[in-house]
Structure 1
Amino acid sequence: MSKETLTSTFTELRKGFLRLAMRFLPSQEDADDALQEAFFRLWKQADRISSREEAEALTVVTVKNLCIDILRRKSHLQTVELDENRDNAVGDPESEAQEREERFRIIERIIELHLTPLQRQILHMKEYENKDYEEIAEILGMQPPAVRMQMSRARKEIRACYLKQMER
């Protein structure tokens, strides 16, 4: 399939894709961003898409997954109440550094005790060696989506264990 066919398919069906994104996302701006990112991702693999129907199906799946990713990112943004005295208060840098170090140790323990060896390996390559998912997949003989899924599960487990630990 040529890039022209992908472009014409996407253009013809854009309103439907936008309606799909709007079912997930609260704003038109976020929906437009999801569509733009979906088109960009599909553009990179346009030569591997064999038909208009496949382009449509891949776009639907890609838009849906991007919408879910956007919702997840937004749900992780924390809100903090304004403290008018915060800027005037002088924090103890040593105490703050100790708190950060303690949180880091807790997370390291969670990683060691709760993640699978594969998840630990992927996390290490991604976060400490700055490798992208494609590189990790090649090294481990996996598909990039499988690497992303393992990374997602690892992060979810770390988050759940950390929150449970903080409740104590």
Structure 2
Amino acid sequence: MQMTQAVLPIMRAQQHGRIINIASISGTVAGPSQSIYSATKAAVIMMSEALAAEVAPFGIQVTAVGLSGVRTDFLDGRSMKRPAKRLPEYQVVAQTMTGLGQLNHHQSGDPVLVGQAIVKLAPMAHALRRLYLGNWSVAALQTKIEEVVNEVNQHLDLTQSIDHE
């Protein structure tokens, strides 16, 4: 956000610019033990979308990139904090932590290919508001969209019950 605030005056003055924010599929599809991480990545996505509408009149485009797993040191102990104390009631968190440990350095995403995709995104005449990268990211997004639509449709009466006629 601070970087965006720093570059916006320059981009407004030159009447063009491109802001690419790195988010995560976890900002759209959350899982156990990811509440804070998912909340921050969702904030990046929503800030990017709102900002895109605000700065479009200045010729500035904004994209949030929702990455799936990329082979970096992100899941290493020096980067990702693990719970100091494991509560037996939270087995799903323990299972998630074990799974993330096994996934570490085995993610399908290649950081070089991520960079290449962002380089392709940068000069696009009409930037995407969201770009999801990685097969798992797209599959998780499509599943999430279907789940949300189904849930809304199952409770449509309740959903629509607050409006005046």
How would you bin the TM-score normalised by the shorter chain?
under 0.3
State the structure with more CA Rg: 1
Q: Which has the higher contact order (CA 8 A, sep 6+)?
A: 2
More strand by share: 2
Q: TM-score, normalised by structure 1?
A: 0.25
